[in-house]
Amino acid sequence: MIEAVLVMNTQGKPRLTKFYHHHMTAEKQQEMIREIYGVLCSRAENVSNFIEADAIFGPNTRLVYKHYATLYFVFVFDTTENELAMLDLIQVFVETLDKCFKNVCELDVVFNFGKIHTILDEIIFGGQVLETNCIEVMKSVDEIMKLERSSNTILLAPIVTSGRNSR
């Protein structure tokens, strides 16, 4: 089970946070994010991307991360998940973002918050992996975006009344 997905910049500022099955206060979430950042920024580049997360998330939890440019992509999961599969899932997420935004950067994550969450929800929902194929994820996201645009068009369409024009 995936416990959390985090994207944070190299200064520790969270850009995307999604906690699954953890009903905790915002303060506790912020504390966990600070602890994770503390661990990530103190690690050498030539060490494993896998970390035991028992001290942060409780027993039997692990953390895997990937550092791309100015962003850390972090997945927290329990011992029922395979570490290499989680690392691959980060890659799927990043590749999908790259396809969507043409070399995703921190500003894409900040200014396209809703779309980023839609992409993540197509890959992971409720802590379970739904899709690992970038092309299938993009098809679903494109369909959702089309539906959103069409519903916005309908909502923004002028209301036509029959009869006289009032002045």
pLDDT at 167: 47
Cβ–Cβ < 8 Å for 61, 54: yes
Query: Which secondary-structure segment (H or E) carries 63?
Result: strand 61-68
| Residue type present at position 50 | F
Kindly report the CATH number assigned to the domain that includes residue 151: 3.30.450.60
Query: Which pLDDT belongs to residue 25?
Result: 84
Question: Residue 160: how many CB atoms within 10 A of its CB?
Answer: 5
d(CA 12, CA 104): 18
167 inside domain: no
128 occurs within a structural domain: yes
Q: Output the six-digit token pair for 103.
A: 């070399």
Q: Domain for residue 120, yes or no?
A: yes
Q: What confidence tens digit (pLDDT) does each residue in 94-151 have? A: 999 998 888 888 998 899 888 999 999 999 999 999 999 999 999 998 898 888 888 7
Give the number of domains in the chain.
1
User: Is 165 inside a domain boundary?
Assistant: no
User: Is residue 162 in a domain?
Assistant: no
Please report whether residue 166 resides in a domain: no
Residue 44 CA, chain-centre distance (Å), reads 24
Better-scored residue on pLDDT, 152 or 6: 6
Q: Is residue 163 part of a domain?
A: no
Per-residue model confidence as pLDDT tens digits over 25-71: 888 889 889 999 998 888 888 888 888 888 888 888 899 999 988 89
Range of the structural domain that residue 10 is part of: 2-156
Q: Across-strand partners of 75? A: 5, 64
Domain assignment present for residue 77? The answer is yes
